[in-house]
Structure 1
Amino acid sequence: MRTTVGIIGGGPAGLLLARLLHRTGIDCVLLEGRDRAYVEHRQRAGMLEQGTVDALDEAGAAERLHAEGLVHQGIELRFDGERHHIDFPTLTGGRTVTIYAQTEIVKDLVALQLAEGPPLLFEAEALAIEKPESTSPVVRFVHEGREQTLTCDWVVGCDGFHGISRDTFPDAVSHSYERDYPYSWLGILADVAPSCEELIYARGQGGFALHSMRSPHVSRLYLQVPNGTEADDWPDDRIWDELSARFAIDADWTLRRGPITAKSVTPMRSYVHEPMRHGRLLLAGDAAHIVPPTGAKGLNLAVSDVRVLGRAFAELHRTGSEELLDAYSRICLARVWQATRFSYDMTKMLHAQPDGDAFESRLQLARLRRIAASRHAAAELAANYTGLPLMP
């Protein structure tokens, strides 16, 4: 097989890139190691920055998003028994965010790709990327029980943190920066209407809690838990009791409870790989960077990478210029590091420290009070949360 752009990984980054290339007239082939059912049902993020919504519009993949997505005008911070609303449109000149589950984005993009092209191969496991420094890199993969090759002009690795793409970079050019956090998130899906109209970020006595949603009928909630926690360690009643305690405020408000349909534990880490390009191999999304979910940046950073790539390949296709492709790593890393900083700051501000550091606890409250009292501080949070500009 031969194509212009070979894409490894059929998550939202790979699928969106394939869609953008197709609409520009650039041929590509997408290889996804898992089957369609797995890809369409793996639970991930659900908060979309304004730029992510715009990118899905550009791809012609936002019809259902606009019909079913929940537009949010802000978030609520809770601490010391108080609630404080951060109004995004007022603070950012009109920008908002939208709640629409990543699973639904993937379903929309898969359906479009299977209906209109370009080729999407499920259960096509990438084994190796050969000759990435050449003008014709090759992807070796297994599909339908036999090993095959895909020769490309360019290869884009959208295969996540554990994929093969990043490991193809030579050690001499690879630099990684990482931070592990001393706590995890216990996340649940519950068949119950959300207890709030917008996301609640709470710093309670027992630690951090987040109230989110997937739809008007499905709630998504998270609890800070110690590393090493198993989901089964937390019976349903214990989860609801702890969530209620952490969201408690000095006002008439009740957390709705309902059947819990899924539980999972997510470790917290920050990771950035530099550079994001080697030869004709480019990385996008989790293959290059991971952020803790506190700032809701993972999916949005992946889409941001892909928007830059889509424009870069369009420029190459239209003019023959590789100028934007040459700048790809620099442009994306500038935004990645800002999102990494924001996610780190949000994480450190809202989570209880396992060592019970009283000094750090008072600093956290001081940061939260500053945001609640200062329009300038609140505007900085709102600007980062709704998404910084695509290019520096």
Structure 2
Amino acid sequence: MRRFDAEALRPFVHGAGALVTGARGGLSPRRLPQWASGQLDDPYFALMERCANGVGLRFGTTARRVVLRLATTTVEVDGGTAPRPASVAVLVDGERAGLAPLPLGDVVHLTDQYAVRGVDRREPSAVGIDLGDSATDGAVVGLLLPHDCAVELLGLDADGEVSAVPHDDRFRWTHYGSSISHGLEAPSPDLTWPAQVAIQQRWRLRNLAFGGNALLDPFMARVIGDAPADLITLKVGINLVNADAMRYRVLVPALHGFLDTIRERQAKTPLVLLTAVSCPAHERAPGPTVMAGGVAVAARRGIEPDPGALTLEDTRQALQRVYDQRKKDDPRLHLVDGRRLLGPEDVDLLHDGLHPTADGLTLIAGRFTDALHAHGVALVPPTTARGATPEGRDGTGAPSIDSKNRSHYGF
């Protein structure tokens, strides 16, 4: 049995923006480089950024069995649902090959203000994964890490050869979005809607969807621009309303600035603006969003009439306005109405009036590429452009990643 410690796993990790040392001395993937996550001191954002959504291990192997050693950390917020055990999705040569359930790991108990009030610690997991004869000729194995908790990688054991995949020429997709794209409702990491699309299309996904936090933060535009991509999609709208974070006056220039930053780094990559999917509570009512009886509703606002407050209809109009202003000078910019993915006729698939059920996530995944095709979005990288990568923040042409290895993008 060959044994790899945590440090030896660095070349296998994909989809992370940073690999930091965890509490047990292992590697803890973060989805953003540390310079970026350090620009927002918000506990809920920190929870979402630590979820290993879209992060995984990818390696070539002749092993019939591997054992992944890892620790997970889940949070339980007062008044919220009880934490559930996570799982690792197994891919062999790009195809789904099974699911490896994990026992419940550490649980951090938080107040409703996200202050820590206690921690239940448990032993790390060692999950055995049988690959059978599928790997005997040297398969490429992917282990997609849990999308709904933090992970610390402690090591990998294998009964055969294991090596880094030397070249990955898959179509590279960077997606930015809200909780709907984060997909905490998905029962496993391969069933968020972006993961379903990436697996079906055999794309290399960088998932930059953070529940509650698609708020056009400037550092996110820099991270997106620094990640080499053949397609960038930005799903914008619902969190701006949920948080009552902007007025129409602010949204339009903020979105222009977000796009400007990305285009300064990747001028020719196809870029798709996706408006919000349907959400009955906020189509014509501004935020903030509150929960009443487990259903998302618009808060009763105790202020004077506020014509600049954003509804979902307003956000769609703002995205249309920005698109119309830029499309002549940016022919690779596209706009897709999110209601093509989940529309008014599909709202029974929103389990709380806001978040899709597992079936709703699958519906979105099934409609996504058709919607892109209908808008003429190029889903095959130009052969002449594939070798060119955008210049990173360090000026080397490589993506900025807080790690000794600069290849941890996509899965």
TM-score (norm 1): 0.26
TM-score (norm 2): 0.25
